[in-house]
Chain A
Amino acid sequence: MSRTAFLKLALGLLFAVLAAGMFNLQLLGGAKYRDLSNRNSIRLIPQKGCRGLILDCEGNRIAGSRLSYDVSVLPQGVKDRDGIFSALSRVLGTDAGAIAKKFKNGYTVPSVPVLIARNIELKKAIALEERKSELPGVIVQPSPLRDYPHGRLASHVLGYIGEIDRWRLTRLTDYGYKTKDLVGFGGVEERLDYYLREEEGGLSMEVDHRGRSVRILGLRPPVNGKDVKLTLNLKIQKIVEESLKDKTGCAILMSPLTGEVIAMASVPDYSPAVFTERQNQEIARLVRDLDAPLVNRAISGVYPAGSVFKVIVAAAGLETKKISAHTTFVCTGSTMVGSGRFNCWSTHGRQDLRQAITHSCNVYFYRSGLLAGPEAIHDYALQFGLGHTCGFELPNEAAGSVPSPFWRKVNRFKSWYDGDTANLSIGQGDLLVTPLQITRAMAVFANGGFLVTPYIIKEIDGKDVSASQQKSVRLNLKDSNLESIRQGLKGVVAEAAGTASILSELPVQVAGKTGTAQAPPGAPHGWFTGFFPYKKPKYVICVFLERGGAGYYASQVAKQIIARMAAEGLIN
């Protein structure tokens, strides 16, 4: 081949090489490079909305949002790292070495900002913004943060906010949840997370090589979460929580007519802000604490009912006509059931139903329970809402359990004896209830025979959702029977020998029942449940003190709550 011919060939070949290179880049790699080019020039700036507010029934804010300021450092914008770190440490008041370490740990690529400090004070944020020109690469970004204006108030009802966990993520991806999303845990935050959560918006911006904005390509405004109004009354909630201070237990106030929960407190409690501020040590302490401050005792704790269960035994006996209001038994301080001796806590003498309730006489209820039989007690307990969840809205509601001969056979592989009936009649044995169940059962006597469904969510996004609550069910109880039991409940407070007679000093007439549930080993649990005002009940109250001693102490707390409510004019 001549040299000139070779040259011609070479010319063609070289162009073929170039064409092949073009083919490779533009046709084979086109999509990839298009993506890279977009990533060069298109910046997505997320814009966060605010999580929906949680309000009490009067529209007071229980949980809201405030702006918090986070400081990050953009690695590619920083030339003199040490200088920036020391300047930051001067403003933030933290050690420069610690900042450098945080930066090192968080560093991924030059174009991704590294978070240095979260939730700094407004003053510091302003100080940093003012010195922006001296601190290239330092970014102060405002972001909404869950805010609790009343601190720990109603923490168990609210729940808390945290980064989504794996389990929730797998269940919720279809609803648009992503990793690192903040979601609610426990309480209303979890239950209504789908409504409360904000929709992240964003700005897509074309930038030049220096990252300066050239034009805005698109904007999707963030959407704030929907506000939720609860049935809770903040003032009453406050009174309840203050009365429970330094105790272990819970208290519930509910409207007996509708089932609206007006106050619900559980102690020990926690501060939900700990979770939004990510105070990891404090969170670990809360999780490890044996007193379980994260558990809402009002709905998740199951306890023996003790004497408060007697009202249901009374209803069972009356309705099955095994006893009447005028049936009497003589309390000699104890009674023989089979070969066993069952004690009363005192010697009451002859007792009719009203007196037996007033004095909480065990012997009376041993006898009437035995007359009614365990199946009847079991049936009525279920009718009064025990043994299954109340259908309450907050998560982690416990069902408790109501024993019966059949239940005992299946669960304990044991036969049922009369002694078991006697135990059940005074609310001991295998009977386990939640304080909310007891509140609901007490409401039946307050409202004249209706089993209500407790609820706490009143409005979502301004729409009343209480209409969609389960309707209250009329229990087939005779009015005369109800009235007999109500008389007994009134006596508990009104009579000098009543177990909760200290409540008679209140300006409002209260009816109720105390309970002292034995739960060896350790001190008994104290119960008081009742309703007021007696004539036209507006509130059902239930106070439960875990290992709080006799029911007397629980009635003391109830007295304190009702007294303060009366003093603040909240009853009428």
Chain B
Amino acid sequence: MKNSFLTILILAILIAAIGISSIYSSTYRKEAKPWREAWKRQLLWLIFALLLFIAAANLSYRWLWDGTYVLYGIAVLFLLLVFILGIVRLGAQRWLRIAWFNFQPSEFAKLIVAIFMARYFSKKGREEIVLSSSGFGIVRGLIIPFLFVAFPMALVIEQPDLGSGLMIFFLFIAMLYLTRVRLKYIVGFISAGLLLAPFLWHFLRGYQKDRLLVFLNPNIDPLGAGYTVIQSKIAIGSGGFFGKGWLSGTQSQLHFLPESHTDFIFATYAEEWGFLGCMVLFTLYYLLLRKGLEVAERTQDYFGKLLAYGITLLLGIQVFVNIAMNLGLAPVVGLPLPLMSYGGSSMIITFMALGILVNIDRTRAVF
């Protein structure tokens, strides 16, 4: 119990520390002072996030069971508020200003969807919470939960934040898969989605279409939509085996790589630390995710089990998609690399999620 708390904490802090050092490296040469001090703010978020982590680890996750729908309501409310009060930045309305803190409700929504899915597919038995999906038909097993998820998802995509929207969608599918809902429903659902894809294409914004096209061939627009991917690949590739060394990555230092401290922090890191450093980072992430899966496996309580899976998946999918996007293996969608990318919301939500994970592992023994 103490073990998983310490392991997860240490792994998460290590990754966050790597993140801060990379943020420092990618911004220390910027002209504007606020940029140069980004790492200090990130450090502040980390400390704040650690407090929340400890709080979440000590507060029984059981209250989430009771509070699921309230939290769901709050998440949707936040997402709606973004449209009214949100701050427009880089053409997207994703942030809510709460006191001095720019909060990104889509990050919150991701976690809430995981909680919602865990709650929806488990029920209180006589002694413990059990899986409730065994008898579910297509309506209760697929359509109703999808409607619940689709609403916040649509709001997120409309911000527009395609990355987080897709993230929620992937999370939904993956958790559905873990709830013993019949496989044919899931397969059928994905097939339906694929069939609808050409139709949905028209709902995408111009730049989103560009990004998807550019993913297929970055060279169709090397100075426009393809620029980021090309520069990111150059940054990563030029790192070679040992990397160029901390503070010496020309791609990020000289700003050839856009978003080098947020979505493309991985490329910054890979350029400076090389293949060796990346393997270390991959190991850290892998160990963290393995720990999450272990916690989920040994939890008997189905709400806790599903929630642990959900949190692990939430992290895992984001890590994978973000790094794949950095490598040019996935289209560029705005998605942070959890624990590393600059940004308070992601940092805080991730640490809270990890805190919940630790709490699940700790409470497990009570039953």
Which positions in A face B, CB cutoff 8 Å? 3-4, 7-8, 11-12, 14-15, 17-19, 21-23, 25-27, 29-34, 36-38, 40-41, 76, 110, 206-210, 214
Whole-angstrom distance from the CB of A3 to the nearest CB of chain B? 6
Which positions in B face A, CB cutoff 8 Å? 174, 177-178, 180, 223, 231, 233-241, 250-251, 254-256, 270-271, 274-275, 278-279, 282, 285-286, 289-290, 293, 296-297, 309, 313, 316, 320, 323-324, 327, 329
A207 near B180 (CB under 8 angstroms)?
no
Whole-angstrom distance from the CB of B340 to the nearest CB of chain A? 14
- Given the known interface contacts A32-B237, A37-B250, A208-B254, the answer about A3 and B178 at a Cβ–Cβ threshold of 8 Å is yes
B309 near A11 (CB under 8 angstroms)?
no
Extra contacts besides A15-B285, A26-B278 (20): CB < 8 Å: A4-B293, A7-B313, A11-B316, A17-B324, A19-B279, A22-B278, A23-B275, A26-B241, A27-B241, A29-B237, A30-B239, A31-B240, A33-B236, A34-B237, A34-B240, A37-B250, A37-B271, A40-B254, A41-B251, A206-B250
A18 near B327 (CB under 8 angstroms)?
yes
Q: Choose among B251, B278, B285, B289 the residue that contacts A37 (Cβ–Cβ < 8 A).
A: B251
What number of residue pairs across chains A and B have CB atoms under 8 A from each other? 116
A4 near B278 (CB under 8 angstroms)?
no
Whole-angstrom distance from the CB of A39 to the nearest CB of chain B? 9
A4 near B178 (CB under 8 angstroms)?
yes
Contacts of A36 on B, CB cut-off 8 Å? 234, 237-238
The 27 sampled A-B contact pairs (Cβ below 8 Å) are A3-B178, A7-B174, A7-B293, A8-B293, A11-B289, A11-B290, A15-B286, A18-B327, A22-B275, A22-B279, A25-B233, A25-B327, A26-B240, A26-B274, A26-B275, A27-B240, A27-B241, A27-B275, A30-B239, A30-B240, A33-B236, A37-B256, A38-B250, A40-B234, A40-B256, A208-B256, A210-B255
Contacts of B323 on A, CB cut-off 8 Å? 18, 21
Whole-angstrom distance from the CB of B120 to the nearest CB of chain A? 17
Contacts of A31 on B, CB cut-off 8 Å? 240
A17 near B256 (CB under 8 angstroms)?
no
The chain B residue sitting closest to A14, CB to CB, is B320
A18 near B238 (CB under 8 angstroms)?
no
Of the listed residues B237, B271, B297, B329, the one surrounded by the most CB atoms of chain A closer than 10 A to its CB is B237
Contacts of A26 on B, CB cut-off 8 Å? 236-237, 239-241, 270, 274-275, 278
Contacts of A27 on B, CB cut-off 8 Å? 240-241, 275
Whole-angstrom distance from the CB of A26 to the nearest CB of chain B? 4
Whole-angstrom distance from the CB of B119 to the nearest CB of chain A? 19
B256 near A18 (CB under 8 angstroms)?
no
B327 near A33 (CB under 8 angstroms)?
no
Bound together, the chains give a CA A17 to CA B286 distance in angstroms of: 13
A206 near B254 (CB under 8 angstroms)?
yes
Whole-angstrom distance from the CB of A41 to the nearest CB of chain B? 4
The chain B residue sitting closest to A208, CB to CB, is B254
Contacts of B297 on A, CB cut-off 8 Å? 4
Contacts of B327 on A, CB cut-off 8 Å? 18, 21-22, 25
Of the listed residues B177, B270, B327, the one surrounded by the most CB atoms of chain A closer than 10 A to its CB is B327
The chain B residue sitting closest to A31, CB to CB, is B240
The chain B residue sitting closest to A26, CB to CB, is B275
Contacts of B238 on A, CB cut-off 8 Å? 30, 33-34, 36-38
B329 near A33 (CB under 8 angstroms)?
no
